[in-house]
Chain A
Amino acid sequence: MDKPTIKKVAEVARLNLTDEEISDFSKDFDGILEQFSKLHKEKFGEGDAEEKAAILRKDGTQLDNAVAEKIMDNAPNKENNLYKVPKGSK
């Protein structure tokens, strides 16, 4: 996989990579995807799957203040019990 593709994928994946990481992954990924391309030599039947919908829980809130407080205790930065985050980019 070439470096520009890795850079593009990293952007989508929200990862800042160093130049060294980009060149290491670039080498790795060719080997991994080559190994996995075995799949393309296989024939799969008509009945073989498509993507399935996830089984989801019903929407709803369970408000427990004691838990909410513990959740906020894990915030890296907060103010008045709200998460404090940097400004969004344009």
Chain B
Amino acid sequence: MKLNEKVSRYLEKIPKSKLNAFISINKNAEKDAEKIQRKIDTNAAGRLAGYVLAIKDNIAVSGMRLTCASKMLENYVSPYDATVVKRIIAEDGLIIGKTNMDEFACGASGETSYFGATLNPSDEKRVPGGSSSGSAAVVAAGLCDVSLGSDTGGSIRCPSSFCGVLGFKPTYGTVSRYGLVDMAMSLDQIGPITKTVSDAALVLSVINGSDGMDNTAIKTKEDYTKFAKQKITGIKIGVVGEFFDGCDHNVEKNVRDGVEILKSEGAKIVDVSVPKTPIAVPAYYLNMFAEFSSAMQKFDGLKYGFRKEGKDLNDTVAESRSSLGEEVKRRILLGTYITMKEFRGKWYSTALKARESIRHEMRAALKKCDLLAGPTMPFTAFKLGDKIKDPVEMYLSDILTVSANLSGLPAASVPLEVKGMPVGMQLHADTGSDGKILFAAAAYERASK
């Protein structure tokens, strides 16, 4: 199929979808498709030619709105392209639109968007997971080929698990964050959401590599497509006991079956332990709150974004910021509180120590094996409205994904072959060993089909 036909089909299908997964559509998509098709016809096209991509709406695409699913940025138009977007366009990837998300990435369910919740393509009464809710839903529902999400504490992997697609969070520093609206700078990483391992490897190969605009993106550019073809004979996979504590029986069974498939493909299975797993949630949230409340200070209604005039300058700022949603305000307040001089020693300093101890344990576990395996989420997608009124319960659902961010490790949610609602198996590798996850995921993909 020619790219323009493919794009036209997507553009017909998207408005008929009830998922509420897109915030903006690229008005030039058809023109872009023609341009890329001409390159394909003359064998002058880049590696992503023929691919139709959707981008999470916290990543800048020049000339398109960048809303972060917030009233604050409802009408903000990106003045430039994020580095990842530049690289996608340079390889002739076609961007079809910007996807819905939890407001400023604050959420694990996809329900906090100012533009309304995204629905799960497998069951529209259930949440798609968050915060990259739209990016996972559009790939699962076949409204584009692949997408980009961002992951601060599981925001790529959680919705990928709930929607039944592959979500990959690379090692911290693998992908430039330039043009990503930061949530917590030391934890954020952009990554692909795809249906197949080879697509994830291709997109990652295009977007990774050092960038002068982000000094944490220091890794030399690598080609990951070679990993999707390797055999896993001899690779050692550590099954982490603590990752199954409190997990739904059905999820546990499916993940253990997934590990058995990897064993039958030649992997060696060992038991490993990460005893500090129960403190991962407080360690993560306290670190994230602190960085998030600081990152959100720039939204003051003065230079861009929503403005509501107040009595004077300070009041105008405070009034404008009142347009932010409940969960965003909750996190700003908690982040401000735990970093105030009086409370910083008790909360933020402790959280930094806890983060380091989790990083230490995760890396020690990875000295005993090549990959850590467990569930991505302790349960399958829950019903819309079930957890949104209980922040503690919502935060606790991130227990299995946050350790990768706290440790800077790569981790992916691999969709399992299941009956009923989708289940994801999570694989972690040591920093820089992202390729190992890809070849284990590819082995599972081949064996399960």
Contacts and interface: CB of A to CB of B under 8 A. Distances in A.
Interface in B280-303: 281-283, 285-286, 293, 297, 300-303
Interface residues of B, number: 68
Contacts of B304: 71, 74-76
A89 B354 contact: no
Mostly, the A contact residues are loop
Contacts of B185: 54
Interface string A27-58: 01101100111111010110111110011110
A6 B395 CA distance: 21
B352 interface: yes
B321 interface: yes
A53 to B, nearest CB: 11
A85 B316 contact: yes
Interface stretch (B75-83, B371-379, B426-434): B75-83
Contacts of A88: 312-314
Contacts of A4: none
A89 B312 contact: yes
Given A16-B318, A50-B352, A36 B285 contact: yes
Contacts of A63: none
B26 interface: no
A15 B333 contact: yes
Interface in A66-90: 67, 70-71, 73-77, 83, 85-89
A9 B289 CA distance: 13
B303 A13 contact: no
Contact of B301 (A47, A50, A76): A76
Contacts of A71: 79, 304
Contacts of B306: 76
A90 to B, nearest CB: 9
B77 A70 contact: yes
Nearest to A77: B307
A73 B310 CA distance: 22
Contacts of A57: 212-215
B336 A9 contact: yes
Nearest to A40: B350
Most B CB contacts (10 A, CB to CB) among A36, A38, A39, A70 go to A36
A9 B333 contact: yes
Q: Which of B281, B318, B324, B337 has the most CB of A within 10 A?
A: B337
B351 interface: yes
A12 B336 contact: yes
B79 A86 contact: no
Contact of A89 (B281, B282, B285, B313): B313
20 contacts: A5-B337, A10-B333, A12-B336, A13-B336, A15-B332, A16-B315, A16-B319, A29-B333, A31-B391, A32-B334, A36-B285, A44-B353, A49-B356, A71-B79, A76-B302, A85-B316, A86-B312, A86-B316, A87-B312, A87-B313
Given A31-B391, A44-B350, A51-B352, 18 more contacts: A13-B293, A13-B332, A13-B336, A14-B317, A15-B329, A15-B333, A29-B334, A35-B395, A36-B286, A36-B347, A39-B350, A44-B357, A50-B352, A51-B349, A67-B80, A71-B304, A74-B304, A76-B304
Sorted nearest first, the 9 A-B pairs with minimum C-beta distance are A49-B356, A70-B79, A76-B307, A74-B304, A36-B282, A89-B312, A13-B336, A44-B353, A48-B353
